[in-house]
Structure 1
Amino acid sequence: MTFRSTPTACTFLGVALVVAGCAPEQVASEKQSKPITVRTVAVAQQDVQRKSTQPATVHAYYSAEIQAKVSGYVKELKVDIGDVVQAGDVLAVIDVPEMQLQLKIAEAKVQLFQAQETQAEAGLELSAAQVKSSQAKLAQAKSEAASVDASVAAAEAEFNRTQDLVDRQSLQNRVLDEVRKKRDSEIARQDAVKSAVTSAEADVTVARAQQSAAEAKLKASKAETVIAQRQLAELQVMVDYATLKAPFPGIVTDRNIDPGDMIRVGHPMDQPLFVVSQVDMLRIHIPVPETDAAHVDRGDAVTLSFPSFPAEQAVTATLTRIAGSLDPSTRTMLVEAEVENSDGKLLPGMFGQASITLSTQVAANMLPARAVRFDEAGGAYVYLVDQDDTIEVVQVTTGVDDGREIEILSGVQRGQKVVDAHLQRFTTGQKVNSLN
Structure 2
Amino acid sequence: MSDSAQTETVTAPKGLKAAGIGAVLVAVAVVAMGAVTRAEDAHEAQHISDASSIPTVHLVPVTGGAAGDALNLPGTMEAWDAAKIYARVPGYVKAWYRDIGAVVPANAPLGSIDTPELDQQIIHARAALASARAAETLASDTAARWNDLLTTNSVSKQEAAEKNGDLAVKRAAVQGATADLGRLLAQKAFATVRAPFAGVVTTRAADIGDLVGPGATSQQPLFAIANISRLRIYVSVPQAYSAGMKPGLMATLTVPEYPGQAFKAQLIGDANAIDPQSGTMRVQLVADNPGGALKPGSYAQVRFDVPGGGGAVQIPSSALIFRAQGTQVALVGPDAHIRLQSVKLGRDLGATVEVRSGLAAGVKVVDNPPDSIADGELVRIGSPRHV
Which range, TM-score by smaller chain? 0.5 to 0.7
Residue among 341, 344, 358 paired with 2:292: 344
| Alignment partner, residue 377 of structure 2 | none
| Alignment partner, residue 271 of structure 2 | 322
Residue among 96, 105, 109 paired with 2:128: 109
Task: Report the CA distance between 1:75 and its aligned residue.
Answer: 0.8
Task: Report the CA distance between 1:303 and its aligned residue.
Answer: 2.4
Residue among 250, 269, 274 paired with 2:199: 250
In the alignment, the residues of structure 1 paired with residue 291 and residue 225 of structure 2 have an alpha-carbon distance, to the nearest angstrom, of: 18
Say whether residues 1:275 and 2:294 are aligned partners: no
CA contact (8 A) 1:88 1:246 kept: yes
| Alignment partner, residue 335 of structure 1 | 283
In the alignment, the residues of structure 1 paired with residue 87 and residue 276 of structure 2 have an alpha-carbon distance, to the nearest angstrom, of: 33
For residues 179-328 of structure 1, the aligned pairs below 5 Å read 203=153, 206-263=155-212, 265-267=214-216, 269=218, 271-289=220-238, 292-293=241-242, 296-322=245-271, 324=273, 326=275, 328=277
Task: Report the CA distance between 1:73 and its aligned residue.
Answer: 1.5
Say whether residues 1:60 and 2:79 are aligned partners: yes
Taking a change above 3 Å as real, the CA distance of residues 412 and 213 of structure 1, as seen in their structure-2 partners, is closer
| Alignment partner, residue 149 of structure 2 | 130
Task: Report the CA distance between 1:251 and its aligned residue.
Answer: 0.9
CA contact (8 A) 1:127 1:208 kept: no
Q: What amino acid does structure 1 have at the position aligned with 2:285? A: A
SS in structure 1 of the partner of residue 118 of structure 2: helix
Task: Report the CA distance between 1:289 and its aligned residue.
Answer: 4.0
SS in structure 1 of the partner of residue 311 of structure 2: strand
| Alignment partner, residue 364 of structure 1 | 311
SS in structure 2 of the partner of residue 91 of structure 1: strand
Q: What amino acid does structure 2 have at the position aligned with 1:60? A: A
SS in structure 2 of the partner of residue 218 of structure 1: helix
1:209-233, Cα deviation, whole Å (9 max, x unpaired) = 3331221011001110111111112
TM-score scaled by structure 2? 0.62
CA contact (8 A) 1:301 1:319 kept: no
TM-score scaled by structure 1? 0.56
SS in structure 2 of the partner of residue 364 of structure 1: coil
Task: Report the CA distance between 1:352 and its aligned residue.
Answer: 1.0
Q: What amino acid does structure 2 have at the position aligned with 1:67? A: Y
In the alignment, the residues of structure 2 paired with residue 323 and residue 408 of structure 1 have an alpha-carbon distance, to the nearest angstrom, of: 25
Task: Report the CA distance between 1:56 and its aligned residue.
Answer: 1.0
CA contact (8 A) 1:281 1:341 kept: yes
Q: Percent of aligned pairs with the same residue? A: 28
Task: Report the CA distance between 1:274 and its aligned residue.
Answer: 1.0
Taking a change above 3 Å as real, the CA distance of residues 323 and 365 of structure 1, as seen in their structure-2 partners, is closer
| Alignment partner, residue 117 of structure 2 | 98
1:230-278, Cα deviation, whole Å (9 max, x unpaired) = 1112211222222211111111101112112222525454742111111
| Alignment partner, residue 33 of structure 2 | none
CA contact (8 A) 1:297 1:322 kept: no
CA contact (8 A) 1:327 1:333 kept: no
Q: What amino acid does structure 1 have at the position aligned with 2:302? A: A
CA contact (8 A) 2:267 2:283 kept: no
CA contact (8 A) 1:322 1:335 kept: yes
- RMSD of aligned Cα (Å): 4.3
In the alignment, the residues of structure 2 paired with residue 365 and residue 378 of structure 1 have an alpha-carbon distance, to the nearest angstrom, of: 16
Q: What amino acid does structure 2 have at the position aligned with 1:308? A: E
Residue among 88, 112, 117 paired with 1:69: 88
CA contact (8 A) 1:55 1:286 kept: yes
Q: What amino acid does structure 2 have at the position aligned with 1:100? A: D
1:78-122, Cα deviation, whole Å (9 max, x unpaired) = 111111122222111111112112101211221221222223222
In the alignment, the residues of structure 2 paired with residue 429 and residue 253 of structure 1 have an alpha-carbon distance, to the nearest angstrom, of: 59
Number of aligned positions between the proteins: 295
SS in structure 1 of the partner of residue 275 of structure 2: coil
| Alignment partner, residue 12 of structure 1 | none
Higher relative contact order (CA 8 A, sep 6+): 1
CA contact (8 A) 2:240 2:308 kept: no
